[in-house]
Structure 1
Amino acid sequence: MKIDREALVRRHNVEQGSLDPRSPVSVGNGEFCFTFDLTGLQSLPAEYPVGARDELSPGTLLGTQSQWGWHSIPPEQDYALSDSTVLYDSPRGPVPYVDMVGGIVDGRETGTAKGETWLRANPHRLDLGRIAFTLPERDNPGLAPEDIEDPHQVLDLWTGTATSSFTLLGRAVRVTTACHPDRDELGFRIESAALQHGLAVSLSFPYGSEAWHNAADWTRPAAHGTRLEEVPASGSTRKWAIHRNLDASGYQVVVTGSGLELEQASPHGILARAADGQDVLDLSVHFLSTGKGDCLPRGTGGIGGAGAGTLPDAGTTPGSAVVEASRTSWPYFWKSGAAVEFSAPEDPRAAELERRTILSQYLTAINCSGSLPPQETGLVCNSWRGRFHLEMHWWHAAHFAAWNRTPLLLPALRWYASILEPARQTAKAQGFDGVRWPKQVGLDGRESPSPIGTFLIWQQPHPIHLAELAYRAEPSRELLEEFAEIVFETAGFMASFACPTDRGFELGPPLVPAQESYESTRGTASNPTFELAYWQWALRVAGTWRERLGLPPREEWRTVADGMVRPKVRDGVYAAIDVEPFTIRTDHPSMLCALGVVPQTDVIDPDIMRATLADVFADWDWDSTWGWDYPVMAMTAARLEDPETAVDALLLDAAKNVVLPNGHNRQTDSLPLYLPGNGGLLSAVALMAAGWDGGPERHAPGFPAHWTVAWEGLVPAP
């Protein structure tokens, strides 16, 4: 039965009639994103807080962010990673690792040296500006929640547009908000008689922030510059350029509209008003990188409009033109790729899982499909200062290939080529071949000091895994050739990192497994269960890539893969690592990834993994888990042919498995959304619906038999 995709998507539109401080909505295109409140703008930022992980004031969820918009605060002196380098004992002798003099306790940095703080915080992602309603004639011009009466907002997922209506000053206001699919441009159509009774739109611009949770610093007006200039435009359209300068960074904001007046009301504040007699404000706000400093030219990622036909361009009503471009492009997104529809009248879990699945597709498209690997909070707000974590890239992006939207995966995968040389130097300095990928980075790919991140190894196979998923979805020699160097150099490091012993090839020490509870034992930890299986599988995939390209095999890769030691088994279940403390029952139950995220390998016994899954379900500290742990359990249960447990895992009642009305996977006050949870869910749903190599022949093998699961376009998992 063919799925009615429009009906499927639209029945999960986000509709709100009151202010939910956790659940604003966003429009975006993968390279750029705008998050807004019930007014259709960012008028109430204090009502949508991001909790601080330090003593600073809270940030806000209402961000305006891009893949290219970064900033660095000038350092007091030149800081180098070498200042934080420590020699660790390994089976090969002393090996240098970038460590951290200070520590991280309960997520808070303590005793961190100035240089380490700067290196961890710069470059940081920048909030490009706030667009809000204002009443400039009032003593306090900003809007308060009590100013907004009878609010009603609908985010139409099918068209990527939001309509917000409310009453202000006793007058009805209607706002349409959209983002252009190919440009970092917002369109607004504001309809209200209040525009002739004091209502205006403000554009405000902050300085960059080194805070963990906040992309904007509003306390340093003298540290940056904002200049307004009217520029030539055609017909009745008027156009202004706002020039922004922040230390070595810079960008422009172009505002275009008809019947529009702009003025610079403060050093970093611009007012936009409707011309006399106008009760409609139709404007576009286009953010443009100048390529200056940390602000790089716009990438080629994002949902774009490919295949959607000719998109409208700005004319006399530029805001409406952006809205129309969104309405043209988004249906193409939903009609392309895959779709899944659930029905189980006696099981309410089906409807909830369908809601989460639709909203996760939208959120990952606008936040995770750009030209850089995403930060864990995407383009909504900052976490870890906007720097992205390469061990999380699989969770953000693997599903694009599974859902037959490989073009949304490739731009960020191509970014690895830009950091091949520094990654090669890291491997060389430690005595290894190939490239060692960093962990916590900005757009420059430079590692951050950390007592955890630089010791992680599970991000190393990710580029191989992502490239293989892309090839399975769209096999071509061109794709093989484009990513061959990334795949082969990654495998070169992995083979040389595995240490030959009398038992076989071993991993570490030092290392920290994906389950980061072992930070304090990083100098002795070895042979984590997940990483052993991932090493074997990825090295064999790299060998297959050489065969596909007609290249001779690399015998050392095969030798290492065939000779990986088996994981530690204690009391009939897999331990996390093979030395004390063996298994700590907090954080990620990552040993489950060894048969779930990773297909069946020689080193994993399905019966032992089945017992391990039951052991985790019986007694794990759920409060310490993360949003992607539930898809992990689901994929493991599915591959073990236990569909009831797979669905139970995806919808487990746990604090960090909450999915808000807007679709975001909330974790904590300081981490109010978590896109790896959304991406992980999509990967799990694809595997459970389309199956996997060597899996059961029945339809939707990962779902209970009494569910009706319709799907089309999915790519079976390895």
Structure 2
Amino acid sequence: MNNTGERSGIDRRALVDRHAVEVTRILPAAPLSVGNGELCYTVDVTGLQTLPDLYPVAGHGDAAPGTLLATQSQWGWHSVPGARRYDLAETVREYQTPRGPVPYVDMRGEVTGTGEAPESAAESWLRNNPHRLDLGRIGLVLTGRAADPTRAGAGTADGVAPAGPVRAPRADELTDLHQRLDLWSGTITSRFRLAGAPVRVETLCHPDRDVLAVRIESGLLADGLAIRIAFPYGAEAWNNAADWSRPEAHTSTSYPTGRGHLVRRVLDDTTYEVGVEASAEARFVRTDRHEFLVSTGRSVLELVIGFTPGAGGVPVGVGPAGEGAAGTRPTELPSWDAVAAASRRHWPGFWSRGGAVDLADSHDGRAPELERRVVLSQYLTAVHCAGSLPPQETGLMVNSWRGRFHLEMHWWHGAHFPLWGRADLLERSLGWYARILPRARETARSQGCAGARWPKQVGPDGRESPSPIGTFLIWQQPHPIYLAELVRRTTDSATALRRYADVVLESAAFMADYPVRGVRGYQLGPPLVPAQESYASLRATATNPTFELAYWAWGLRVAQRWRRLLGLPPEPAWEKVAANLVRPHVRDGVYTAIDVPPYTVRDDHPSMLYALGVVPPTDLVDPEIMRATLHAVLADWNWDSTWGWDYPAIAMTATRLGEPATALDALLHPAEKNGYLPNGHNRQTDLLPIYLPGNGGLLAAVALMTRGADADAGRPTPGFPTDGSWTVRHEGLHPMP
């Protein structure tokens, strides 16, 4: 039977340790990462970025592949300058709506699953910029005699390039591979032999600073093994954060410091600095315009690398290294020991607080895999989705959509944090909405509405991207209300109310003003594109998607509750709209996706299901009609066209309908896009090699299945069968609304 006690005494160290990631060969799709939500460093089997070409990311069409091995941050962005700056107004087009003609940022070119075809230079530049940067590649190289045993002498002198060749090791030179990601300490330990010599590498990231720490132990260090640090230009490519073909377009200026070196990076209007400090007797030399080597004559090399936006270190009145530089005043970096100690304090604290789910005593053969996915998803979302900006779908590992983030995905990246008792990790990015509130208000005003309309595909400044899909989506609009409500329910309510009141109330003000009253009630659209984006070509005529109708009603009523809690009078218009929205369309006894032909196409997201599942119960949705809809979808949906978050979303619907076996079957459905790699990532395609909304959605679904929702009135583990096949021990979780 299920154990539902909140104080179940779970041995969290044992739970986490049994899912440490062990790697004994090169896994091209599944590298490992260390990070803190703001900075992430992804490594190959050497514990560094030594073999980037062996970890490829496909590009659209004939575009060159990128690599999964990036160093990315929340603040590292770049824009390619053009002959002129393009204005978003150049992409605006009027659409007919029930309130008259309304301007929308649009895209006359095409966006398909295989690529993009912008019609104008403005469309192209505005979609491509700003893009997230790869801040630097840090990998092993062989120099001198180690690179070419036929050469005598391998050494380097301070400030002088090494004698002889410099090359990356080849994969066939690596043997006896063993790599382990220790989740409890946030440490990647990599052991291997390189050309027969043993090498051990430890890789960590500081939990609170944008600082990496690497420790290498090998006798080969004294014979030519070194670390190369190289810097690329920013890339406008869909999938690639680094452009290595334009060395003349950026600068890397090195300054010696008291404990190491500072590299000042300038890429057009973007500047950042990289501090490099190494153990005693280490040498730092420039080998090319944007490449540096760190080497030592000892058998141990400790390296700390810190990344800082802007110009943090101030040169002291002299030129750069090699030109009489005497030093700088950089931000002081911690020692290797200090970074390691901070990581080894932080991660046990992370795992020891918040939620835990232990399935070890279950008899269902799927339990170990589900538990593995749950544990690894907690690590991955902490690394990739807990920063100061809403995450991109591929986190901080590799660019997708040029590193720009999708606000309709924010719920899937972050809603689980409060449910698992870690609301502070969501709050890091939730505050961003207040920063772009003026821009969101202007969008609403330009379309004749009150409040704030949130964009879809954006960078840090919140500027919309031209799109035939994104600017017409509306299901991101209630997300800040839902996310703020989760924070309020799981933390100090008064603080949350004060912090997010403007965002919640302005979101609701737009939601109440956007629908227009017709003969059947207040309708949504046209134009719009529902969450099931298959109807994008119908955006000028699509109306009343089932999911969005339910979400609209629920969101408006939550915002009304916030008004009461804030001591404000209710807004009569909000309740009037919520109570009089068009009823979701029913055809042949099931809910359709939209209420105009073709009603439902059976690919992409089966979003009508999420009107009761992701969305809590509302008076718009009949549970029995939803049950029929659920089973109709399960019978014949095109699963190859779905995405990773669909499976947890379906599991949430089944759970709310009281069908735990169906919920588990959906959550663990053996579809390609519902697979989880050895590193825990949810792979989709060669173009989308990792997909954090799948990981975050899994955690949200498991929270609902385990802890339940308000409507369950304490019913234990509503998403797991009670036939004895599952034993679910849990603690620290919060119920969903």
TM-score relative to the length of structure 2 = 0.92
Query: Which residues in structure 2 correspond to 1:241-260 (within 5 Å)?
Result: 241-259=262-280, 260=282
Cα deviation 1:30-58 (Å, max 9, x = unaligned): 00000001100000000000010132210
Aligned match of 1:302? none
Matched, 1:717 2:736: yes
The CA distance in 2 between the partners of 1:577 and 1:475, in whole Å, is 39
**Aligned equivalent of 1:285:** 305
Q: 1:203 aligns with which of 229, 243, 246?
A: 229
Structure 1 residues not aligned, in runs of 5+: 233-237, 293-312
1:386 maps to 2:408: no
Q: 1:300 maps to what in 2?
A: none
Change (3 A) 1:160 1:565: same
Q: Deviations over 1:65-115 (max 9, x none)?
A: 000000000022221111111111111111111110211133411253111
d(CA) in 2 for partners of 1:285, 1:669: 31
> Which among 274, 285, 309 is matched to residue 263 of structure 1?
285
In the alignment, is the contact (CA less than 8 A) between 1:189 and 1:320 conserved in 2?
A: no
Report whether the alignment pairs 1:60 with 2:73. no
How many equivalent pairs are there? Answer: 689
1:128 match: secondary structure: coil
Alignment match, 2:190: 164
Corresponding position of 2:150:
none
SS of the equivalent of 1:226 reads strand
Aligned counterpart, 1:304: none
Q: CA deviation at 1:501?
A: 1.4
Post-superposition Cα deviations, 1:192-232, rounded to whole Å, max 9, x if no partner, equal 00001110000000000000000000000000001111112
- CA distance in 2 between counterparts of 1:111 and 1:421 reads 28
1:149 aligns with 2:165: no
Amino acid at match of 1:154: R
SS in 2 for 1:436: coil
Q: How does 1:226-625 map to 2 (within 5 A)?
A: 226-232=252-258, 238-259=259-280, 260-274=282-296, 276=297, 278-290=298-310, 318-343=335-360, 345-625=362-642
Matching residue within 631, 635, 652 for 2:669: 652
Shift of 1:140: 6.1
Change (3 A) 1:64 1:543: same
C-alpha contact (below 8 Å) 1:437/1:460 kept by paired residues: yes
Q: Secondary structure at the match of 1:229?
A: strand
Render the CA deviation track for 1:338-386: whole Å, top value 9, x for unaligned.
Answer: 1111145431111110000000000000100000000000000000000
Contact kept in structure 2, 1:169 and 1:194, CA below 8 Å: no
Q: Using the alignment, how far apart are the partners of 1:475 and 1:228 within structure 2?
A: 47
Aligned to 2:76: 69
Question: Partners of 1:95 and 1:78 in 2: how far apart?
Answer: 25
Query: What amino acid is aligned across from residue 285 of structure 1 in structure 2?
Result: I
Give distance in 2, aligned partners of 1:622 and 1:253: 45
User: Could you tell me how far apart the structure 1 residues matched to 2:60 and 2:286 are?
Assistant: 35
Distance 1:87 1:254 in 2: 50
1:704 corresponds to: 721
SS at match of 1:412: helix
Look up the match of 1:223: 249
- Preserved contact between residue 235 and residue 241 of structure 2 (Cα < 8 Å): yes
1:340 counterpart SS class = strand
Query: 4+ residue stretches of structure 1 with deviation over 6 A?
Result: none
- Distance in 1 between residues matched to 2:426 and 2:132, nearest whole Å: 21
Q: For 1:466-502, what per-residue CA distance to the aligned partner results, in whole angstroms no more than 9, with x for missing partners?
A: 0000001013212101110000000000000011112
Match of 1:113 among 116, 120, 123: 120
Task: Output the CA distance in 1 between the equivalents of 2:234 and 2:628.
Answer: 49
Give the alignment partner of residue 13 of structure 2, picking from 6, 9, 31. Answer: 6
Q: CA deviation at 1:314?
A: 6.0
Question: C-alpha distance in 1, partners of 2:306/2:61?
Answer: 34
TM-score (norm 1): 0.95
SS in 2 for 1:689: helix
CA contact (8 A) 1:689 1:703 kept: yes
Match of residue 173 from structure 1: 199
* 3-state secondary structure, aligned to 2:285: strand
Separation of aligned partners in 2, 1:708 and 1:592: 28
Q: d(CA) in 2 for partners of 1:242 and 1:112?
A: 39
User: For residues 118 and 502 of structure 2, what CA distance do their matches in structure 1 show?
Assistant: 40
Deviates more, 1:178-187 or 1:133-142: 133-142
AA matched with 1:613: L
Query: C-alpha separation between the residues in 2 aligned to 1:231 and 1:687?
Result: 53
What SS does structure 1 have at the residue aligned with 2:502?
helix
Q: State the partner residue of 1:295.
A: none
Q: Whole-Å Cα distance in 2 between the matches of residues 143 and 434 of structure 1?
A: 57
425-434 vs 321-330, greater mean Cα deviation:
321-330
* CA deviation profile, 1:271-295 (whole Å, cap 9, x unmatched): 0001x3x100011011111179xxx
Q: Give distance in 2, aligned partners of 1:690 and 1:453.
A: 34
Residue deviations 1:379-407, cap 9 Å, x none?
A: 00000000000000000000001001010
| 2-structure distance, mates of 1:632, 1:350 | 19
Q: C-alpha deviations, 1:264-318, integer Å up to 9, x for none?
A: 11100010001x3x100011011111179xxxxxxxxxxxxxxxxxxxx966xx2
Give distance in 2, aligned partners of 1:143 and 1:548.
Answer: 62
**Which residue of the other structure, out of 38, 46, 67, is the alignment partner of 1:39?**
46
Q: Distance in 2 between matches of 1:112 and 1:59?
A: 25
CA separation in 2, counterparts of 1:37 and 1:111? 35
- % of aligned pairs identical? 59
Structure 1 residues 164-204: Cα deviation after superposition (integer angstroms, max 9, x where no partner): 00001221000000000011100111000000111000000
Task: Flag structure 2 segments of 5+ consecutive residues without an equivalent.
Answer: 1-7, 148-164, 313-331
Q: Write the deviation string for residues 427-475 of structure 1: whole angstroms up to 9, x where unpaired.
A: 0010001000000000110000000000000000000000000001013
Q: How far, CA to CA, are the matches of 2:47 and 2:446 in structure 1?
A: 51
Opposite residue 654 of structure 2, the aligned amino acid is: A
Question: Does 2:125 match 1:123?
Answer: no
| Cα drift, residue 523 of structure 1 | 0.4
Between the aligned partners of 1:112 and 1:621, the Cα distance in structure 2 is 31
Q: Name the CA distance, whole Å, in 2 between partners of 1:713 and 1:344.
A: 19
Query: Aligned partners of 2:129 and 2:515: how far apart in 1?
Result: 33
Paired residue secondary structure (1:688): helix
**Is the CA contact 1:657–1:665 (under 8 Å) kept in the aligned structure 2?**
yes
3-state SS, counterpart of residue 94 of structure 1: strand
Q: 2:85 aligns with which of 78, 91, 112?
A: 78
Counterpart secondary structure, 1:285 = strand
Please give the secondary structure, in 1, of the residue aligned with 2:474.
Answer: coil
